[in-house]
Amino acid sequence: MARVKRGVTKHQRHHRILVLTKGHRGVRHRLYKRAKESLIKAMAYSYAHRRERKGDFRRLWILRIGAAARQDGLSYSTFVHGLKLAQVEVDRKVLSDMAVRDPQGFSQLTAVARQRLDS
């Protein structure tokens, strides 16, 4: 059987890792072994943070809705409870967008929620 020399293959593999770690600090993008470790961590973090981002956005939406509802004299929880009683099914993302871009429409929703809470 013929002998296999892996110089080119090894160089390409190392180069691919070093290219992927461009932008990492210090030896984390210069030395292959450290770069590979850094890349493994980076990939794990990116996977976890893609999931974490969903919670981050939900918290942001709730913050915006709460601020807009307080301007109309309702807390976030009473506003959402009023909407639920009024059977208004609008998700938090849309409510947040309304609070920022359409304050008058949001005020109408707070009026609907308040009316349902009072009755």
SS3 for 11-38 is HHHHHHHHHHCCCCCHHHHCCHHHHHHH
Per residue in 73-94, pLDDT (tens digit) is 999 999 999 999 999 999 999 9
Asked if 17 and 32 touch (Cβ cutoff 8 Å), the reply is yes
Spell 1-28 as b/e; 16+ CB within 10 A means b.
eeeeeeeeeeeeeeeebbebbeebeeeb
Confidence check: pLDDT of 4 > 90: no
Per domain, the residue ranges of the chain are 7-118
Nearest Cα to Cα of residue 88 among 114, 61, 64: 114
**What is the pLDDT averaged over residues 4-23?**
94
Confidence check: pLDDT of 68 > 90: yes
Q: What is the band of 8 on the pLDDT scale with cuts at 50, 70, 90?
A: very high
Asked if 92 and 58 touch (Cβ cutoff 8 Å), the reply is yes
Confidence check: pLDDT of 1 > 90: no
Asked if 38 and 28 touch (Cβ cutoff 8 Å), the reply is yes
Class of domain 7-118: mainly alpha
- For the question of whether the overall pTM of this predicted structure is more than 0.85, the answer is no
Structure confidence at residue 5 (pLDDT): 86
Per residue in 46-67, pLDDT (tens digit) is 999 999 999 999 999 999 999 9
Radius of gyration, CA atoms only, the chain: 26
**What is the pLDDT averaged over residues 95-114?**
96
